[in-house]
Structure 1
């Protein structure tokens, strides 16, 4: 399947690659995971990676004792929010060196083997390969181990991110469009051109890993239930070779993980760069129904809610417009991002917006605070400079939450950097329980006792997820 083919019809999938029997696949996976003693540690580059799981904890720091607590917990998996998508390359490298060292210490202290997963964006943005390369070097040095390969699997069904014939697709309406032909590939910080994941890996690694030397796990192998053949491929991986895994359904992931467990049990070691689809299956997490009003809104709280929108992708802007047009009882407050270009401008704008949001919430209405929609750039050459500007604006925007003197009845944050800043900087969350999802791919944290608003259901809405109506539907349920 060629990247030059602009779209794939979803109906083609069922015709060309029929799915295997669901119950058989489930039982094979269950048997494979039952014998797994490894703790699954997920590093999440923004808070949206928990968008397929529930009943697991997220930690917002990577201190030694925090990681030790996670490794000693009874749960099979825990998340560490790094927020590294909002870091510069230098900050990212430094953070992942520290994470590697602290995790190695904690693993020795706990006597607990682990699998380390780097959960990144399902539309291929982020500090790749820097994060996994840094982790590999640090852990191999600290633990005197050797990683044979790296699993590349950005599949995320809830967001319409499928990999077919090694080409990664983004669902847009009823079409699947190669990721390299979407707006996400033109990101001001993490731009790329390739949609074929082998070519993408070669592009992102500067040619250090060649596409023709990478291993591919095809849909044919997965849907034929070729467990021995897939395991043999994984057993042949060495030299941190890249393994591209195709997937267009959760059953594909389950088949792959079953074969993967067989390879791990025979001594193979891998790092993982993936989206949320692989995470759920690796953790053995079952699907659960979407959360409703009773679980998402404070009971008996007369105050209004708060929606904070920072993401600038086209989908977010469309969802914001649909929300403002479609729900009564809202007050829109535009945070002028252009104020960042003036000395002291962000501080003044934060004060203005904070005062108005507080008035609205106290009056029992819902405030929708959003950044002006123009994407600002300070440099055509420096991705780090553009990222730094985005982070400054996001922190001023989320400072509106820090300034609140009364508890809103609910909080929704839209966008990866925005939701991280709201959770960590504004709400002061150190440890949160993942309750589930408010909509497919839209996770919900229950904030910890240490946070600004303990026990609140905090709704984290990724910028690139959902239909045009999804944000409207969630807020309409809550107001």
Structure 2
């Protein structure tokens, strides 16, 4: 059996010896669920990105939140980030376009934008694009070029899952070659998509992976099959060998491949002992929920049953009607409630869609902005910890609500799930406050209640104050 720790060390040694940096363009803040002790940049700033990539072999996320933008806006923002990221280290930067493990997002457009911008800077297009959407801890994996999402303990071809019916990024295909053909409207013919099979990985090893990669040219898409980190780590060794042979690549991935490409070690879930800053405070926490997927609604119901919460439902129809007095009044109520209670703020659960995918996205953005305004207005109460549920919500709360520009990923509260950020550059009231980023589509019914329980348990001073 391969020594996984030795493989990860080999990956890191290669990266450091060649002074390669890894920049992850993350289309929502939940992509860091498989990593730890790396920095997150929330703004397009060459200075902030450079600070986050100081060390050779380092990894930094840049939160673009492009899943919450229209395609043209997403393309422009990707180009801005790539220009900033390559300004200092040029083609010594590997670029991951990190997106949803259930395939939602601007898949084709973002990769094409990144390749075009990169080529304008370094003088050549990439040879291949590795497509590796797995998120193992959440039960998302790829076998036989078909991508699966585990639902209620049963692996389901992702095109048959609720995620494929997304109002903005819906699709029908589960086979990743067919999926690329579907999203590109035929510009990426499925028969032209290369594949690295499980057999190639497990039987041929890094050399066989390298041989497939060496066949790629003209930004060819390459589907990566995998059911474990060991599979991805073997692929990374093949990638490194192909780079040494002169090939260049981009990566469109879910959360798991980021950890493999960086060579990061696994880390146990965070516990109460990892939040010493909470030990002496009797302040209360703030829970924000914007996601509308069914998993989130069940989790909200469970955390409400746990008790000890002041609850505020934000009325989405009123928000969309543009009532200017509604949000300041809600913020004032939340701010007052934080003096005595943990506070749950959630958007009304009825899903309001637009007449088109673009209109639905605009609605989601308007609602998310409203949640962020509530947070900004309540921040003077100095919450002890903050949880944001939903990708668009957690990004907008971080940037607009907390003024966050750069943060450190402390780790996760569950194996590979639910990251905790430590704000480094942010509004004074938010610096150092544990900020929990919780994807809408992960966890079981009790996961949100568990996260709240961990944070409450880190505050013995609250028990003494009762």
TM-score normalised to structure 1 length: 0.90
CA distance in 2, matches of 1:221, 1:164: 12
Give 1:22 deviation, angstroms. 4.4
Give SS of 1:403's match: helix
- Is residue 51 from structure 1 mapped to residue 30 from structure 2 by the alignment? no
Counterpart in the other structure of 2:294: 314
- Is residue 281 from structure 1 mapped to residue 260 from structure 2 by the alignment? yes
- Is residue 72 from structure 1 mapped to residue 47 from structure 2 by the alignment? no
Counterpart in the other structure of 1:371: 347
Give 1:306 deviation, angstroms. 0.7
- Is residue 472 from structure 1 mapped to residue 452 from structure 2 by the alignment? no
CA distance in 1, matches of 2:213, 2:5: 21
TM-score normalised to structure 2 length: 0.93
Pairing partner for 2:280 from 276, 279, 300: 300
Give 1:142 deviation, angstroms. 1.9
Give 1:259 deviation, angstroms. 1.3
Give SS of 2:278's match: coil
- Inter-CA distance 477–72: structure 2 relative to 1 (3 Å threshold): closer
Counterpart in the other structure of 2:404: 429
Give 1:349 deviation, angstroms. 3.0
Give 1:250 deviation, angstroms. 1.2
Counterpart in the other structure of 2:462: none
What do residues 390-430 of structure 1 show as CA deviations (whole Å, max 9, x unaligned)? 10111101211100121112110000000001111111111
- Inter-CA distance 291–161: structure 2 relative to 1 (3 Å threshold): same
Counterpart mapping for 1:212-361 below 5 A:
212-296=191-275, 298-325=278-305, 327-342=306-321, 344-345=322-323, 347-361=324-338
CA distance in 2, matches of 1:211, 1:217: 14
Pairing partner for 1:88 from 70, 81, 88: 70
Partners of 1:180 and 1:195 within 8 A in 2 = yes
Give 1:212 deviation, angstroms. 1.1
- Inter-CA distance 119–197: structure 2 relative to 1 (3 Å threshold): same
What do residues 64-105 of structure 1 show as CA deviations (whole Å, max 9, x unaligned)? 323333343345211111111111112111112222333332
Partners of 2:8 and 2:264 within 8 A in 1 = no
Give 1:164 deviation, angstroms. 1.0
Pairing partner for 2:367 from 373, 390, 393: 393
What do residues 107-142 of structure 1 show as CA deviations (whole Å, max 9, x unaligned)? 24xxx7111110001111111111110010111122
Counterpart in the other structure of 2:413: 438
Give SS of 1:262's match: helix
- List gaps (5 residues or longer) in structure 1: 1-20
CA distance in 1, matches of 2:412, 2:11: 27
Give SS of 2:142's match: strand
- Provide the aligned C-alpha RMSD in A: 1.6
Partners of 1:71 and 1:106 within 8 A in 2 = no
- Is residue 411 from structure 1 mapped to residue 386 from structure 2 by the alignment? yes
- Inter-CA distance 194–155: structure 2 relative to 1 (3 Å threshold): same
Partners of 1:32 and 1:262 within 8 A in 2 = no
Partners of 1:149 and 1:239 within 8 A in 2 = yes
Give 1:32 deviation, angstroms. 4.2
- Inter-CA distance 178–348: structure 2 relative to 1 (3 Å threshold): farther
Partners of 1:216 and 1:245 within 8 A in 2 = yes
Give 1:300 deviation, angstroms. 2.3
Counterpart in the other structure of 1:102: 84
Partners of 1:33 and 1:261 within 8 A in 2 = no
CA distance in 1, matches of 2:68, 2:203: 41
- List gaps (5 residues or longer) in structure 2: 457-466
Counterpart in the other structure of 2:463: none
- Is residue 448 from structure 1 mapped to residue 430 from structure 2 by the alignment? no
CA distance in 2, matches of 1:94, 1:275: 22
Q: How many pairs are equivalent?
A: 449
